[in-house]
Amino acid sequence: MAAQLNREQVEAFANGLYYLANVDGIDESERTLIAEFLQETDSGLTMEQVAAANVNPYDVADVLETAFQRRIFMRAAVALVHADGEYTDAERRAVGEFADAFGFNNAEFGELEQQAKRLKIQ
């Protein structure tokens, strides 16, 4: 994934994931997944920088411009919020905010949600 994302996109991706993970209080498994993403992308970003960012779904949508990037983000987002074993209403609403910001309709969002639920992140 790093080969297809520049530093600004990696930062937006990580910030968006952190935004979602923090909706119901960030769990250690969620924190670990974001930290691993940062490490694997060699972005030089730290969890502290990501945690300090003040972003919303529309900020992320401004940076992740292609349908491919947005679909990958949505799959990762749904998988991330499932990482702690719970998918709360607040998390689903927050993921839905990203779907709206990215311009996905309900059918597309539902399809991405189902695909992501089948992913096993460890």
User: pLDDT tens digits for 66-113?
Assistant: 999 998 899 889 888 887 777 888 988 999 999 999 999 888 888 877
Q: What is the pTM of this model?
A: 0.87
Residue-level pLDDT at 3: 45
Indicate the SS3 state at residue 28: helix
pLDDT-based confidence at 121, cuts 50/70/90? low
pLDDT-based confidence at 29, cuts 50/70/90? confident
Domains of the chain: 2-117 (1.10.3680.10)
Q: Tokens 């490490």 belong to which residue?
A: 39
Residue-level pLDDT at 107: 86
| pLDDT tops 70 at residue 17 | yes
- What does the mean pLDDT of the chain come to? 87
| pLDDT tops 60 at residue 13 | yes
Task: Please state, in angstroms and rounded to a whole number, the distance separating the CA atoms of residues 59 and 98.
Answer: 10
Task: Please state, in angstroms and rounded to a whole number, the distance separating the CA atoms of residues 70 and 68.
Answer: 5
The alpha-helical segments, DSSP class H, found in 7-119 are 7-21, 28-40, 47-52, 57-63, 67-82, 89-102, 106-117
Tokens, residue 113:
């949600």
